[in-house]
Amino acid sequence: MKSSSAQERSDAAMARLRERGQRVTTARRALIDVLARSDAHLSADDIADRLAEHDSPDIAATHRTTVYRTLDSLVRAEIIAHVHLPHGAATYHLVDTGRAHLHLLCRGCGEIIDAAPDLLDDVRARLESSAGFRLDPEHVALTGWCRACAPD
C-alpha cells in the first residue's frame, strides 16, 4: 500500500482537480475514489465493475460510457494516468505526484511493477540530443521478467 491513505490520495486528487479549474462531479469523485483505494492498475471495465458494486444507487448506476468519458477527462486534467499494456486494454491509476511513474510488465506472471520516473532519464537525454526525439515512456509498459519469473 502507498504511504498515504486512500482518503488522503482521493482528497489530494480532488484538490488538484479544483486547482486546474475542473468541476468535481459525482462521477469524477466516485472514479477517483475507486482508484485511490487500489494500488492496482485498473482497466475501464474494472472501474465500471467496482462502481456497479457501490452502496449508492446513483453511483452503482453509472453507465460505462460515463466511465470512459470521465477517464478521458481526468487523463486530460492530469489527475489520472493511463498505461497501454501489450496484451489488453489500457489501465489507469492516480497521479500522486507531478510526474508519472514508469511501468514494468513481467512477461511471465503479468505483474505490473511501478518504477522510478527518472529511470530512463539518461536514455531520454541521449535520444533527444542524438535524434531530436522526445521519449514519453509513461504511457507504455516496458516488458521483461520479474525476479521470480526470470529464466535462468
Mean pLDDT of 20-33: 93
102-119 tens-digit pLDDT: 889 899 998 888 888 889
Q: What residue segments make up the domains of the chain, in order of their start? A: 6-94, 102-144
Q: For domain 102-144, which CATH number applies: 3.30.420.40, 3.90.550.10, 3.90.1510.10, 3.30.1490.190?
A: 3.30.1490.190
pTM: 0.79
Within a 10 A sphere around the Cβ of 90, how many other Cβ atoms? 15
Host H or E run for residue 102 = strand 102-106
Host H or E run for residue 147 = none
Question: What contacts 1, CB < 8 A, 6 or more positions away?
Answer: 39
Mean pLDDT of 15-19: 93
pLDDT tier at 97 (50, 70, 90 boundaries)? low
36-85 tens-digit pLDDT: 999 888 999 999 999 999 989 989 999 999 999 999 999 999 899 888 88
**CATH topology (fold) of 6-94:** Arc Repressor Mutant, subunit A (1.10.10)
3-state secondary structure 56-99: CHHHHCCCHHHHHHHHHHHHHCCCEEEEECCCCCCEEEECCCCC
pLDDT tier at 135 (50, 70, 90 boundaries)? confident
Question: What contacts 35, CB < 8 A, 6 or more positions away?
Answer: 13, 42, 47, 80, 92, 93, 94
Q: Grid coordinates representing 49?
A: 465493475
Instruction: Specify the pLDDT at position 100.
Output: 67
